Each structure stands twice: as structure tokens, then as C-alpha cells.
Amino acid sequence: MTNLTTVTDHALVSNKAKKYQGKSRAASTLRMYRSAIADFDEYCKDQRVSSAPATPSTVANYLAFLADEQKVSTIKVKLAAIAYAHRLAHLPDPTVDSVVETTLDGIVRDKGLLPTTKKAVTLNIMREMVVALPPTLSGTRDRAVLLLGFGGMFRRSELVEIMVEDISLTDEHLSVLIRHSKTDQEGKGLVKHFQMLNERAICPVRALHDWLSGSGIKSGPLFRAIDRYGHVRDKKMSTEAVAQIIKSAAKRIGQDPDVFAGHSLRRGGITSALKHAAEQRDVMLQTGHTDPKTLLHYNEDLGEGATRASRAAFGETDKSQ
């Protein structure tokens, strides 16, 4: 199937693009557009629809899909990237259709009136999730996905890009090289580290050992789809599959799957680490954040600052002060 990445690759390095690259802001925009186009292509492949050209209904459905987890500003960037790519490829622009415009208007209004934040997977919820997984190859894979995502504070886009060649695994230690991420478009790389835990059921190192042993994977994508016959496929798992693993695990233990999403693992790992007194600088080494301010909203998830303020309003302070 033809996709936008294939159609527009030459256009993104054309003379016109090079003019933009002469300015840092334009070069940054082009990097964002390339990433956005790749995301759209992946979505279209999963849905088995064309991305080049894309129909207005495909774009509208994509916007609705993004609305579950992403901010309006991010959605608008991705929409602009689709429009830009179609124009450069001399294809009809599907983003100007009324069905796309009204869908975006509805998302803006809905998210503006009722902002939603997906629930974090707490440590206790994680314990329940992994214990409840079935003793199948899919269950073994899902356990590794959940525990690595939580302990490594991964974005789901990072999880699906892990290659076997990017991991270093011993009996007691695991390191994972992340070649590219949302905040590392230039590919400087980030290494995430794990140590074997005393609590076997929630140990990411043991979980990955079990997945590699059970799947027989020696190279290529680490996390892959498994068909209904139990056969491990060659291609990498999709980002939507990661979200579905989380939702299914939540449903299995009686949680509402609709309040969880792909970001729930990263949010849960960060908030749990902070709750258990991890230093911010140590959390940032695992997440790849470079600005401590970006962790503020994760601290807000804990409610500890608000609790202290409430106690202070009544003239009380923490006993430790």
C-alpha cells in the first residue's frame, strides 16, 4: 500500500524544504511533520486504508483516535502535517473537507470543556494486572510489555521500536537503548536501566527473560503481534496494541478500561517512583526529561502538595517539618 512517507520523502528534502531548513524553526517543524506523517501511515496500515491519498473520513477517524490521548495542540500539528504532505505530493488535501473541520471543532470543544487525563497504572494495579494474565505466550508477552513500560517509564511509541539488538540482558540486569523518542528526534539515544527485583512477580528483568525464552526471538523487533494460533509474527507490535494490552489487563481485574491508555504506564511509573521518594534527577535519567518542570504535573498526580496546603490552611504542618 502506498503511504505518505513513501510519497513525500523526496519532497521533504526538496529545494523548497532546504529553504526551510535554513531556519532552525523550519527545520524543527519538518522533523515534527516527518514524525507525524509516520504516525499517520502506521494508523492507516493498522486500519487497512490508504494514507496517500487519504480520504476525509480516514482523517476524521484518525483525529477521533488521537483525541483519546493527545492534546489539541498535538492533534493540530499532526493535521497540518497531513495537509502539508498531501500538497507536496500534489494530492487532494483531505483536511479541508467539512467532515474533518467539524470533527476537529468537536474535539476542541469537548477537550476544552472537559479536559480528561488518563489514569495512571499504580504499583498495586500493576501487581494485580500481571498476576491476572493468562499462562499463555500472549500473557508472557503482555507481562513483559506492562512491566518494562512501567519500570522504564516508556512512551508506547518507544516500546514498539525496541529491537533485540538494542537490549543488554544478564541474569540480574537489563539495559535498553532507545534510539529515537518524542523529545530526541535527532537520535542522540537514551539508555534505560533495570535491576532484578526481589518481588519476582513484578520483575521486568525476569519478565523479559521469560518472553525471549518463550517466543524464541533472537533478533529484530522485541515486541510483536501473536496470531490466534499462537504464532509470533515478524513485524513489530503497533502502538495501538500496547494501549489495548493495558486496557485488557485493566478490564481483567475489574477496572474501567476506558480510563486507561498507552500513557498510563509511563504516568504510573513516574508517579510511583516519586511517591517512593526517588530523586527527580534519577527519574529524569530514566524518562529522558531534560527540564525538571516537566515532572511537576506528575507530582501533582500524587496530591501531596495540595494536601500540605490544605493542612496549612487549618494551621497544621507536616510532622516532619
Point out the residues that are catalytic.
155, 182, 263, 266, 289, 298
CB within 8 Å of 39: residues ≥ 6 apart: 78, 157
Q: Name the nearest CA neighbour of 111 among 157, 63, 56.
A: 63
Q: How far apart are the first and last CA of the chain?
A: 63
- Report the 10 Å Cβ neighbour count for 250: 22
Beta-strand (E) ranges in the chain?
A: 167-169, 173-178, 190-195, 224-226, 232-236
Question: Residue 121's CB: how many other CB atoms inside 10 A?
Answer: 27
State phi, psi for 167 to the nearest 5 degrees. Answer: -110, 150
CB 161 within 8 A of CB 180: yes
CA angle 158, 163, 167 (to 5 degrees): 95
Give the other-Cβ count within 10 Å of 306's Cβ. Answer: 10
Pick from 39, 65, 298, 267: nearest CA to 149 = 267
221 pairs with which residues across the strands?
163
Return d(Cα 307, Cα 3) in angstroms, integer: 51
Nearest to 37 by CA among 66, 72, 6, 69: 6
Concatenated DSSP letters of 43-82:
HHHHHT---TTPPHHHHHHHHHHHHTTS-HHHHHHHHHHH
What's the grid cell of residue 37?
Answer: 506523517
Radius of gyration over alpha carbons of the chain, in Å? Answer: 21
